[in-house]
Amino acid sequence: MAALALGSWAQASTAAVAALPPARYGQPLALAPGVFALPGGLEGAEPDNQGAVGNLGLIDTLAGPVLVETGGSYRLARWAISEARRLTGRRPVLAVITQARPEFLMGGAAFEEAGIPVLAHADTAELMALRCHECLRRLRADLGEAAMRGTRLVLPGRRIEAGLSLELGGRRIELLHLNGHTSGDLVVLAADRGVAFAGALVPAGRIPEIDPGREATPWRAALRRLGRQEGLRTLVPGYGAPGPAAGLVDAVEAYLAALESQVQALLDAGVDLLEAQRRVELPAWRGWARYEAFHKRNVQRQYLAAELRWLGGVPDPGAPR
């Protein structure tokens, strides 16, 4: 009887998955020979998009393709691995996670199953262990158990403490450690093609989301360093359409500069946090995705960081060292 019940549950579970919309990203965008973006949505994870939020990347090498991000679920990662094989004729040899964002890292189980190593900065792995079990719980609540079937948190097996230059199959791939959006930010640069994948460090047409305990100043500094990167021409943002690197970087830096300036002015004037959240409106960016979801929270996090610095709790991140 128990076996019959288990079989019925398995059939029902399989049927529930089969009834879902396809778990996949958009049509691959060829950016340069052997370099592709796999585009995802600008908004949050929801049943209609099956968690395919943000952009994945693919850099082909003679050794096999490297994927940028593992995707938002086990099902999405399975699709990405299959798509990499379709585009290149080869099995992926590595995946790189740029930041501890759930839409970029929840596909780890599929990569582990396929024997494909996953690399991230050590700080990203630490953040994943600290908070991504809760991210997974929320995704299951938002998307449903069927959509997240097979998804579990798998920490990256390869971890780096600084930037790294990879030589794979005749191609040089630079992993730039920029410490902006999070302390473990990596930008993945196909050096010979002038194409970089920036993850959440550079969203396009989407409000940047300041991480808890972070602020605009180091993020802006990271953007300036990225903008000076020699040979960089095309940028794949974490969200939104790829384009010329300078324009995408400048747009994000402008939002963060305006946020930082207005928050600091209100703090200097003695305005409290709740009033600052009410007053700091940036209409030039209101048309960007996630403005309502992220902007007031960004004001809060920027205010608290600036206030702590004013109280003497932390050094000025913009001060020379």
Q: Residues 190-212: pLDDT tens digits?
A: 999 999 999 999 999 999 999 99
Query: What pLDDT was estimated at residue 16?
Result: 54
| pLDDT band for position 309 (cuts 50, 70, 90) | confident
Q: Is the pLDDT of residue 222 over 50?
A: yes
Query: What pLDDT was estimated at residue 12?
Result: 44
Question: Do the domain assignments include residue 292?
Answer: no
Q: What is the CATH number of the domain that holds 123?
A: 3.60.15.10
Counts for the chain of helices (H) and strands (E), in that order: 9, 13
Residue 157, CA atoms < 13 Å, CB-side half-sphere: 10
Query: What pLDDT was estimated at residue 10?
Result: 43
Question: Do the domain assignments include residue 226?
Answer: yes
Question: Do the domain assignments include residue 92?
Answer: yes
**pLDDT tens digits for range 125-180:** 999 999 999 999 999 999 999 999 999 999 999 999 999 999 998 899 999 999 99
- pLDDT average, residue stretch 8-23: 57
Q: Is the pLDDT of residue 3 over 80?
A: no
User: Containing domain of residue 76, as a range?
Assistant: 22-244
Q: By the 8 A CB rule, do 32 and 190 touch?
A: yes
Q: Is the pLDDT of residue 89 over 50?
A: yes
**pLDDT tens digits for range 32-83:** 999 999 999 999 999 999 999 999 999 999 999 999 999 999 999 999 999 9
| pLDDT band for position 1 (cuts 50, 70, 90) | low
**107, amino acid identity:** G
| pLDDT band for position 19 (cuts 50, 70, 90) | low
Question: Do the domain assignments include residue 219?
Answer: yes
**117, amino acid identity:** P
Pairing between strand 94-96 and 118-121? parallel
Q: Is the pLDDT of residue 237 over 80?
A: yes
Nearest to 49 by CA among 60, 57, 41: 41
- Ranking 9-13, 113-117, 120-124 by mean pLDDT, the lowest is 9-13
Question: Do the domain assignments include residue 256?
Answer: no
Task: Look at the chain and report how many structural domains it folds into.
Answer: 1
Residue 306, CA atoms < 13 Å, CB-side half-sphere: 24
Q: By the 8 A CB rule, do 246 and 272 touch?
A: no
Q: How far is CA 320 from CA 40, 140, 282, in A?
A: 38, 44, 29
Question: How large a percentage of the chain has pLDDT more than 90?
Answer: 87
- Ranking 11-20, 113-122, 262-271 by mean pLDDT, the lowest is 11-20
Using left for φ > 0, alpha for ψ between -120 and 50, and beta otherwise, residue 83 falls in alpha
Q: Is the pLDDT of residue 301 over 60?
A: yes
Question: Do the domain assignments include residue 300?
Answer: no
Question: Do the domain assignments include residue 152?
Answer: yes
Nearest to 116 by CA among 66, 79, 51: 66
Greater confidence, 309 or 15? 309
The CA dihedral of 173, 179, 183, 188, to the nearest 10 degrees, is -20
In the numeric block, the tokens 């979801």 are attached to: 293
- pLDDT average, residue stretch 235-257: 98
Helices 291-310 and 245-268 pack at an angle, to 10 degrees, of 50
Q: How far is CA 237 from CA 55, 98, 171, in A?
A: 7, 11, 22
Q: Is the pLDDT of residue 124 over 70?
A: yes
Q: How far is CA 311 from CA 25, 60, 214, 218, in A?
A: 46, 50, 16, 19
Question: Do the domain assignments include residue 5?
Answer: no
- Ranking 229-233, 267-271, 301-305, 310-314 by mean pLDDT, the lowest is 310-314
Q: Is the pLDDT of residue 320 over 80?
A: no
- Ranking 238-252, 256-270, 306-320 by mean pLDDT, the lowest is 306-320
